[in-house]
Amino acid sequence: MSQSSRRHFDNAGHMDPVRAERLMSFTMEARGSDSERPFFEGARAEDTFAEELGEGTVQAMTSGEDRVSDDLNREVEEDWGGPFVMSSASKEFASGTDASNIEEATREPFPKT
């Protein structure tokens, strides 16, 4: 360990209070206005999803269990049925004619190539 770092920290690794105050004064001057602060002001977020992810991250870091991914991957009602839903042909196909399919139209031959 260098001589200069020994002067700034005690044996437990705590920074010298005078040096800590001096460094904090530098950051306060450089910070500028409060709107430029990079960190949160409190323990709550306005976005509930962001708050849930933050809480899950802290829980995963402290306990070693990742429950957030389990919660995000759980089955929800919107997933039921998949991309294909069974329905009858009368519901899916139009009957009769409309402006794009008039009765006087000639039928095109089926392509054979």
At 48, give phi and psi (nearest 5°).
-65, -35
- Taking the CB of residue 103, how many other CB atoms lie within 10 A of it? 6
The string of pLDDT tens digits covering residues 28-66 is: 666 665 555 556 566 666 788 888 888 888 888 888 887
Helices (H), the chain: 3-8, 17-31, 48-63, 67-72, 89-92
Q: State yes or no: pLDDT of 69 exceeds 60.
A: yes
Residues 67 and 56 sit within 8 Å (Cβ to Cβ): yes
